[in-house]
Amino acid sequence: MNEINSRYLPVDDAQRRQLHNEVHARPSARVRLPALIVYVAVLNAGITREEEWAHLRSLPGHADLEPEQLNGNFLRLRCDGFTVKWERHTEFTRYSIVQPLPEQASWGHVLPDLAPHVATGVDWLRGIPGRTVAAIHLAMLPEGMDAADWLPKAQAWLGEGTIIGSRMGNTSDGQSHSCLLTHWRIGNDGFERMLVLAPADTPEGRAGRISQRVLELETYRLMALRGLPVAKQLSPVLAQAEAQLADITARLERKETADQDLLDALVSLAAKVERATAEHGYRFSATRAYDVLVRERIAELRERPLHGTQTVGEFMQRRLSPAMATVAATAQRLAALSERISRTSALLRTRVDIATETQNQQLLEKLTRGQGLQLKLQSTVEGLSIAAISYYVVSLLLYLAKALKLAGVPIQPELAAGLMIPLVLWLVWTVTRRIHAKLHATL
């Protein structure tokens, strides 16, 4: 393939192969009826791939498993008489053990014991690294689609609880290809129980796709519901924050509190809301994404009603939708609170800016008045300076006239000095004006 690309195409983008093969990353299993699928999904926060690799290596016949084989987030291991499928997702890792149905678990038995008969052994199952979020025993039985005693036998096999079920799929002749029955309850062994009834000639590929849809539906439902406790926990915090914001807004309106105090209270409230957004924003986003996946998987089941039972879609609509609405409302409430805090902050900033501008204007007026007084003072000083300079010049001229008189020049010193006063004043004033003119021209 690389040679063909080098001859006919530009060089591949570094991610082309990876993105292209993503559609084949998690192929559905091939399940031969009758079969039992033991399914466990665990939260993988803090769990490394190395830990999961070490656990998978303990399966019989797979001691030579390489860590690189787990890089693709999907791995199917074939063991003696059963298969184990490993899938790692962002928040959880799931393990699916596909094995033949034990004889004591066939159709018609009453609450058969399944947990001790897992093909991997109970110890291996218990040692899966992580915390369990979903555990399901899914039995797929070749019982056809025309049985009239489904519900009584399903009730006996599943145990106590209202049966939820529906016909699934739409074949070429307009008929359903299988039937799903469950009661969505966790048994004493920690597992939920589900039954899929299908014709004996059901292709292995179709059986694998059915099992994948059903198991993913329940996993995504539980992952979506992880946002509900967070929403309930956050509700009183939001109520308190909303009350604090209302109080700050009221004080802002009444102008009875210093701006700095209001700003400190608003900053503290904004930090609290932003912390809540940072801590729980991902959980709310994940809940929305999982809810979309649940709806997609329900649509893929292409359900048809089964007489005497509620369909999976109806059950989810009545039980899951209120929880999702609560989470969505809490997320919207958190976002709205953040926006309201931003608007209140803008109002407070506007008031502070107006007060600052008023203070600046008052300060500018004071500076203007000061400059006017300084100008008047400068004019006064200049007048005094002209008089002082003229006085010294006239005194010098007086001394000069006295010296000339002593030298024999017929002159009256006091008269000459008195006559020179107007001329001296004019000359000093003229020189001062020229100096001012040069300074203004420089500026």
Determine, yes or no, domain membership for 218. no
Two tokens, residue 207: 């059986």
Q: What are phi and psi of 74, to 5 degrees?
A: -145, 135
Task: Please state the domain count of the chain.
Answer: 3
Determine, yes or no, domain membership for 12. no
Residue 441 above 80 pLDDT?
Answer: no
Determine, yes or no, domain membership for 321. yes
Q: Are residues 386 and 429 in the same domain?
A: yes
Residue 435 above 90 pLDDT?
Answer: no
Please tell me the predicted confidence (pLDDT) of residue 193: 94
Alpha helices in 176-226 (DSSP H): 204-224
Instruction: Summarize the confidence of residues 157-168 as an average pLDDT.
Output: 89
Contact between 70 and 55 (Cβ < 8 Å): no
Q: DSSP for 337-386, please give it.
A: HHHHHHHHHHHHHHHHHHHHHHHHHHHHHHHHHHHHHHHHHHHHHHHHHH
Q: Are residues 51 and 182 in the same domain?
A: yes
Contact between 428 and 386 (Cβ < 8 Å): yes
Last residue of a domain, one of 170, 203, 236: 203
Range of the domain at 296: 227-351
Last residue of a domain, one of 303, 333, 351: 351
Determine, yes or no, domain membership for 16. no
Confidence of residue 38 (pLDDT cuts 50, 70, 90): very high
Determine, yes or no, domain membership for 366. no
326-350 residue pLDDT tens: 999 999 999 999 888 888 888 777 7
Give the span between the Cα atoms of 287 and 324, in whole angstroms: 8
Q: Are residues 257 and 318 in the same domain?
A: yes
Percent of the chain clearing pLDDT 70 (strictly above)? 91
Determine, yes or no, domain membership for 44. yes
Please tell me the predicted confidence (pLDDT) of residue 147: 55
CB-based contacts of 414, cutoff 8 Å, min separation 6: 398
Confidence of residue 1 (pLDDT cuts 50, 70, 90): very low
Task: Check residues 26 and 16 and name the one with the higher pLDDT.
Answer: 16
Please tell me the predicted confidence (pLDDT) of residue 200: 86
Give the span between the Cα atoms of 152 and 157, in whole angstroms: 9
Determine, yes or no, domain membership for 338. yes
Instruction: Summarize the confidence of residues 397-405 as an average pLDDT.
Output: 81
Confidence of residue 171 (pLDDT cuts 50, 70, 90): low
- Name the least confident of 138-142, 333-337, 362-366: 362-366
Task: Check residues 29 and 35 and name the one with the higher pLDDT.
Answer: 35
Please tell me the predicted confidence (pLDDT) of residue 3: 41
- Name the least confident of 246-260, 284-298, 362-376: 362-376
Q: Are residues 193 and 232 in the same domain?
A: no
Two tokens, residue 183: 């009661």
Determine, yes or no, domain membership for 9. no
CATH number at residue 336: 1.20.58
Per-range mean pLDDT, top range of 121-135, 156-170, 195-209: 121-135
Q: Are residues 64 and 156 in the same domain?
A: yes
Please tell me the predicted confidence (pLDDT) of residue 153: 86
Q: Are residues 39 and 175 in the same domain?
A: yes
Residue 146 above 80 pLDDT?
Answer: no
Instruction: Summarize the confidence of residues 236-251 as an average pLDDT.
Output: 88
Q: Are residues 341 and 387 in the same domain?
A: no
Residue 351 above 60 pLDDT?
Answer: yes
73-127 residue pLDDT tens: 889 999 999 999 999 999 999 999 999 999 888 888 889 999 999 999 999 999 9
Element of type H or E holding 76: strand 74-79
Q: Are residues 198 and 75 in the same domain?
A: yes
Please tell me the predicted confidence (pLDDT) of residue 389: 79
Q: Are residues 144 and 262 in the same domain?
A: no
Q: Are residues 182 and 243 in the same domain?
A: no
pTM: 0.76
Q: Are residues 149 and 262 in the same domain?
A: no
Q: Tell me: cis bond preceding 34? Omega within 30 of 0 counts.
A: yes
Residue 381 above 70 pLDDT?
Answer: no
CB-based contacts of 326, cutoff 8 Å, min separation 6: 228, 231, 232
Q: What are phi and psi of 228, to 5 degrees?
A: -65, -50
Q: Are residues 293 and 261 in the same domain?
A: yes
Average pLDDT taken over every residue of the chain? 85
